Amino acid sequence: MGIGELDREAHVPGGTGAAAAPRTLAEALRARGDEGLAALLRARPDLLSPVPNDLTQLATRAGTRGSVVRALERLDRFTLQTAEALAVAPDPAPYPVLLALLSGDDGDPDIEAALPRAVAALREQALVWGDDDRLRLVRTARELLAPSPQHPSPTGLGPTVSEATAGMSPGRIQEIIAAAGLPATHDPVSAVAALTELFTDRDRMGALLDTAPPDALAVLDRLVWGPPYGEVTANPAPPVRWLRDRGLLLPASTRTVVLPREAALHLRGGRAHRAPEPHAPELSVLREYRPQVVDSAAAGQAYTALATVEELLKGWDQGGPAVLRSGGLSVRDLKRTAGALDVPEPVAAFWLELCYGAGLLASDGEADERYAPTPAYDDWLDLPAAERWAGLVTAWLMGTRASGLVGGQDAKGRALSTLGPDLDRGAAPEVRRRVLTLQATLPPGSAADPEALLARLRWERPLRGAGRTGSPGEAEAGRGVSSGSGTAYGTGTSAAYSTGTGAAHGTGASGGRSAAMGAPSGPGSHAPADLRSRIALWTLSEAEMLGITGRGALASPARALLNLPLAEAAAEPVAVHGVELSLAASRAATLLAPLLPEPVDHVLLQADLTAVAPGPLQRPLAHMLSVLADVESKGGATVYRFTPGSVRRALDAGRTASDLHDFLTAHSRTPVPQPLAYLIDDVARKHGHLRIGAASAYVRCDDDALLGEILADKRSASLRLRRLAPTVLASQTDPAALLDGLRSMGFAPAAESAEGDVLITRADAYRTGARTAPVPVPDGPPAPDATLLGAAVRAIRAGDLASTAVRKERPEGAPAVAGELPRTSPAETLATVQAAAMTGSAVWIGYVNAEGAASQRVIAPVRVEGGFVTGYDHTADEVRTYPLHRITGVAELADDQV
């Protein structure tokens, strides 16, 4: 029988379950099959770090606070509500009691149908164990979810009558039961039991409340859904006094009263939650388009994304802005970059973070540290357009840096800067992937409603999403209750359970960034406070900018990237990392390639010294044109403008005037305009007439009249020139400053080497050293693959066999310590392992390794020679060799263990 069959038998009410009810979580795990253990380790990968020695250690680790908190964070809302109901139920709780807490007195078919799945999920993750007649929530989870004055329950329920009356004087308890109409008892225990029985009896409790004053019922109405605590004065009003006298309000402190859990459940109709949510919210469609329209729009955005990245990094070819001392980009440089790209600052921050995450941009690591493209950028440029896009979206999908946090503050109140530290959020890859996968469940061409998408995400991860476990409307904090002159106020504490992890991830994040990035928002909506919702909104806008979606709907290439079917919707992706992700990216690039515009090999030259590119240019043409001309405008067609400075830039790069004429003639569909030909010739005639080299710096020219003109110009005063010879001027400035100064005066000097040759300036001269892309910060341990799971299960089983194996009893009178392996002499050890090798039986040994660590193992000796014993180690599930002198003792296993 597989684990799925075992689970179905155990989770269905009335199922027989195991032959003997488990007494501990370790026994419950021991009764599972290998598939059940693998499912637990897959759902809670933190239990594998390191692999537990046996099932007892696995159960202990599964009950630690950190592991339980992480497991609770990954439960959906209804499964979490089930755990919360178990936390306020008797321990252990029969299945019908749990069902009644969730569905109430009237019952609910939807809850009745969904509850077996929730219990199965809790069992699979070892948060609940036991048969259906004795369901037990692990102790740590109960401590986290059960109500207390310091940590109110997400259900809004308070303590039981027994808990609330602990420490109360016997006389006061007798007064309460007398006021409630119950007979006096001989001891407080029976008195508390009688009061509890009254509050849980629907008929008797209803009769008691029928006698309550209307104002007293109003007080109960304000406390019934939580928080159950209220403050009272020393002389409360009559309605509050009436409730307190009958135990419907019990003292929690000198000035605080609490509504007992049993009374609250009666007033709620037996429900632990005001609004149980057994089903996930449905996704609604905001708009519908033809799939071809979506793919075309996404392809256009993908091309724009590639062009934006190229434009951004091309502007930093000679070295970008300086790195702040604390890391990252300054606000001024971010504004400058946004202006150059003609986009808002949050969008510019996104493109910068994308380039950084993809390994195309990094700091150069020099003393005067600056940002610059990496060598990987040049390799990226050589790839086809579709493959370049696949590389960008893969880096975005798996990256943990969240550009939307830029502008916020960290935990210490420091501003979060672009490319700086503290922008990693481990939840980002999961949220991005889940948002896209949920969009894929809609029909092709359908754009999801963002509000419905956020509601679905909050249902799937309520703790990590909203930072609380209760349903909407629960635990209304701060609502006061009043009656006459006496008052009872709420404690002002939200009945929420917060693990602290979500708060750490969301520290200092600015929720207003998504609006600037174009995140969808409905009328009257506001930026959500929780991190997952904000990442989801950023994902919607970023996916649109990258061309993963078109007009809000998922495009076909993105489906391939997520390993989803192209025509039918799918609920879950197949692969997320490694070789499979590379294959998925390759398939996505193949689908995108036919949708991208074909590069053109020509431009249209115009008489106003401009050239129009009617589409994306082939790379050699685009590279040369970017040197020869400046981009004037972008859009469907790019307009380039030729200026004296741009032509001089081409000449500095080693081109001659004839090269430029030939280039324009070969790549223009229109004749080369006369003004452009004159511009090239005029700049070329002056170019290099002046020569500048390093003395500190000098100016050399065969025309001494020209040098005299420079000396006479007042603008040359800052260059501090003096004549050394009729054809040479010397300067105290460096050659680069001298070049810039003379060019600003209208001259066209050229730099020369020490040998007198003209220096050619390459347009892409500066790159950082070899840099790797930043490693994503994981959100907990990675999900184990099938190979690791199989090996871990075998190791745990083997270790459990070793720890639970039964040894033969020692001869009478032989010393032995309970729970420890008895020590044996070296001769007895040798004789026992030799006999086991001859008979092929297994023995139990105690072993101390070279580091002094002691362990117990079950081995089947195969060979004993040279002071070593070689055998199959059942604990490690492999053949090993042990020195005999390190074996502290040996014992035979009982017959039923062999």
Nearest to 651 by CA among 667, 627, 675: 627
How sure is the predictor about 895, in pLDDT bands with cuts at 50, 70 and 90?
low
Candidates 289, 302, 285; CA nearest to 439 is 285
User: What percent of the chain stands above pLDDT 90?
Assistant: 41
pLDDT tier for residue 698 given thresholds of 50, 70 and 90: confident
Task: Tell me which of 135 and 790 has the higher pLDDT.
Answer: 135
Q: What is the pLDDT of residue 125?
A: 94
State the Cα–Cα distance between residues 873 and 141, nearest whole angstrom.
37
Mean model confidence pLDDT for the chain: 81
**Strand segments (E) across 466-615:** 481-483, 486-490, 549-550, 553-554, 604-606, 610-613
363, amino acid identity: S
Q: Which residues of 495-521 are buried (b: 16+ CB within 10 A; e: fewer)?
A: bbbebebbeebbbbbbbebbbbbbbbe
**pTM, 2 dp:** 0.74
Q: Which pLDDT score, from 0 to 100, does residue 209 have? A: 92
Q: Which helix (H) or strand (E) segment is 798 a member of?
A: helix 786-804
Q: Tens of pLDDT along 800-850?
A: 776 666 555 555 444 444 445 557 888 888 888 888 888 888 888 888 888
Task: Please give the pLDDT value at position 520.
Answer: 39
Residues 92 and 109 sit within 8 Å (Cβ to Cβ): no
CB neighbour class for 523 (10 Å; exposed up to 12, middle 13-18, buried from 19): exposed
Query: Which residue, 628, 594, 593, 587, is CA-closest to 611?
Result: 628
pLDDT at residue number 575: 40
- pLDDT recorded at residue 808: 56
Instruction: Report the alpha-carbon angle 698-701-705, nearest 5.
Output: 115
Q: How far apart are CA 464 and CA 503, in angstroms?
A: 9
In tens, the pLDDT along 211-260 reads 999 999 999 999 999 889 888 888 888 999 999 999 999 988 888 899 99
Grouping H, G, I as helix, E, B as strand and the rest as coil, residue 638 is: strand
The structure tokens 């300067």 sit at: 731
Q: What is the structure's pLDDT at 841? A: 83
Q: What is the pLDDT of residues 708-758, one digit of tens each?
A: 888 888 888 888 787 878 888 888 787 888 888 888 887 878 888 766 667
Each residue's pLDDT tens digit, 90-100: 989 999 999 99
Cis status, amide bond into 152, omega within 30 of 0: no
Q: Which residue in 511, 477, 512, 513 sits closest to 492, CA to CA?
A: 477
Give the single-character DSSP code of 503.
H
> DSSP characters for 201-239?
-HHHHHHHHHTS-HHHHHHHHHHTTS--EEE--SS--HH
Cα(466)–Cα(461) distance, integer angstroms = 8
Report phi then psi at 720, rounded to 5. 50, 60
10 Å Cβ neighbour count for 373?
Answer: 26
Q: Which of the residue ranges 345-354, 487-496, 763-772 would you say has the lowest mean pLDDT?
A: 487-496
The Cα–Cα gap between 270 and 106 comes to 9
Closest C-alpha among 672, 675, 612 to residue 643: 675
Whether 116 contacts 96, CB under 8 Å: no
**What DSSP letter does each residue of 28-91 carry, written as one string?**
HHHTS-HHHHHHHHHH-GGGGSS--SSHHHHHHHHTSHHHHHHHHHTS-HHHHHHHHHHHHS-S
Answer for the pair 512, 404: CB distance below 8 angstroms, yes or no. no
Sheet holding 285-288, edge to edge: 285-288, 446-448, 553-554, 549-550
Neighbours of 545 (CB within 10 A): 21
What backbone phi and psi angles, to 5 degrees, belong to 231?
-95, 145
Task: Please write the tens of the pLDDT for every residue from 399-411.
Answer: 999 999 998 888 8
pLDDT of residue 817: 45
3-state SS, residue 605: strand
The DSSP output letter for 327 is S
pLDDT at 3 over 50: no
pLDDT digits (tens, 9 = 90+) for 278-323: 999 999 999 999 999 999 999 999 999 998 999 899 888 878 899 9
Phi and psi torsions of 638, nearest 5°: -95, 135
Residues 13/93, Cβ–Cβ less than 8 Å: no
Q: Provide mean pLDDT across the span 460-468.
A: 67
H helices present in 279-330, as ranges = 291-314
Q: d(Cα 164, Cα 199) in Å, to the nearest integer? A: 14
Q: Is the pLDDT of residue 67 over 60?
A: yes
Q: Is the peptide bond before 96 cis (omega within 30 degrees of 0)?
A: no
Measured distance CA(693)–CA(700) in Å, rounded: 8
